[in-house]
Amino acid sequence: MDRSISITALRHYSIADEFIDTKFPWPVQDRSIGRPASTLISQRAQFLNHVTFRQIQSEIYAVNFLLKEPAQSYREWMELMDAKLVQWREDTRPFASAGFDWFHLALYTAQLYLHVDCPRNPRPGFKSVLIGFEIANGVAEGYLKMIEGGLLKFDWHCAHQAVTASTLLLRILRTDYQTLLHHHENSELVGVLEKFTELFQKLSKRWPQAYACLELFESLKKDLFQSFRMSADFLSLAEASRTQQQSDSPVHASADNVNIDPTLPQLDPSHEDRELWEQMVNAMDHYTEMDWNLMATDTGFHWAF
């Protein structure tokens, strides 16, 4: 319970792992309970599986957020934690048939704190970007299914997890959009954003305080769209500058050349920011004609980018 609450709220937990020495329950059948042996064995297995999950989750949080030193190099440690989580998920498959597959959602929530921006790793690498998108999608889908199925018990818990996951999504879309487009359709990226909007909307109806999460997410999403619109405006200016340079050249000069507004900024190819400009222009390579048209409209509109 301590790990579930503290980690979700991004707070320091009350007792460090090294000070917990409680033994696991013995596999002894207490016949006075009156339950079948198979039931007791199954319940014990589920309990130990849950404890294992919290132990992995606790170590991830201790290293990434509380700056505990891992036993291996950080890269090796991340690979080890990923492997442990995948193995844990495999070990839960016998229990999944009992009802809603909570274990799949739990896997995403644990991976979230492994691959999200954190004090230990403020700028996650390429692998974490790709996994991060899958995590964000999994968290949004998982909680939407829980709400729709009437299975969500703790609204505040969902709100905290969703804020962390949606913030991760917004960050990787802002900084690694072109990378994601090599692996996902543009509609997929926009679709996950809309899933979080839907999640926060439904959550707000259940728990009014969650409306603040919706407002924050929509504000950050609008800022994201605005940054893409500014990049598109920059591309238009760059194209106008190239056209003017061609018109000034004796090779390209002709009476048919279009006059360029002299108030437009002139982009000097030798300027020290040239590389940054090129990166911004290259980020637009995958835009469709519809994307460009939508970018000319009100930035408050939820357009694809």
Confidence category of residue 36, pLDDT binned at 50, 70, 90: low
pLDDT in tens, 206-246: 999 999 999 999 999 988 887 776 565 545 555 555 565 55
Number of domains in the chain: 2
30 domain residue, yes or no: no
305 domain residue, yes or no: no
36 domain residue, yes or no: no
For the beta carbon of residue 175, count every other beta carbon within 10 angstroms.
11
> Looking at residues 116-124, what average pLDDT do you find?
93
264 domain residue, yes or no: yes
What does the pLDDT read at residue 50? 83
Confidence category of residue 156, pLDDT binned at 50, 70, 90: very high
33 domain residue, yes or no: no
- CA gap 305, 290 in Å, rounded: 9
Q: Are residues 102 and 232 part of one domain?
A: no
What does the pLDDT read at residue 258? 36
Residue of 101, 85, 207 lying closest to 146 (CA atoms): 101
Q: Are residues 163 and 91 part of one domain?
A: yes
Determine what percent of the chain is predicted with pLDDT higher than 90.
Answer: 46
Q: Are residues 239 and 103 part of one domain?
A: no
Pairwise pLDDT comparison (142 vs 248), residue with the higher score: 142
pTM (2 d.p.)? 0.71
- Determine the number of helices (DSSP H) and then strands (DSSP E) in the chain: 10, 0
Confidence category of residue 80, pLDDT binned at 50, 70, 90: very high
Pairwise pLDDT comparison (120 vs 290), residue with the higher score: 120
> Looking at residues 254-267, what average pLDDT do you find?
37
Please name the amino acid found at residue 8. T
- CA gap 257, 238 in Å, rounded: 17
Q: Are residues 123 and 87 part of one domain?
A: yes
H or E element in which residue 258 lies: none
Q: Are residues 246 and 147 part of one domain?
A: no
304 domain residue, yes or no: no
Q: Are residues 243 and 184 part of one domain?
A: no
What does the pLDDT read at residue 232? 55
Q: Are residues 265 and 193 part of one domain?
A: no
272 domain residue, yes or no: yes
Q: Is the pLDDT of residue 73 over 60?
A: yes
Pairwise pLDDT comparison (200 vs 300), residue with the higher score: 200
Q: Is the pLDDT of residue 160 over 60?
A: yes
Average per-residue pLDDT for the chain: 77
Question: Residue 283 sits in which domain range?
Answer: 228-250+258-294
What does the pLDDT read at residue 203? 96
34 domain residue, yes or no: no
Q: Are residues 266 and 167 part of one domain?
A: no
Please name the amino acid found at residue 217. F
What does the pLDDT read at residue 69? 95
Q: Are residues 239 and 201 part of one domain?
A: no
Q: Are residues 96 and 133 part of one domain?
A: yes
E strand intervals along the chain: none
Q: Are residues 266 and 153 part of one domain?
A: no
Structure tokens at 169: 């999504």
Pairwise pLDDT comparison (246 vs 157), residue with the higher score: 157
Q: Are residues 286 and 182 part of one domain?
A: no
Confidence category of residue 269, pLDDT binned at 50, 70, 90: very low
Which whole-number Å values give the CA distances from 12 to 4, 112, 136, in the listed order?
Answer: 12, 17, 23
What does the pLDDT read at residue 59? 95
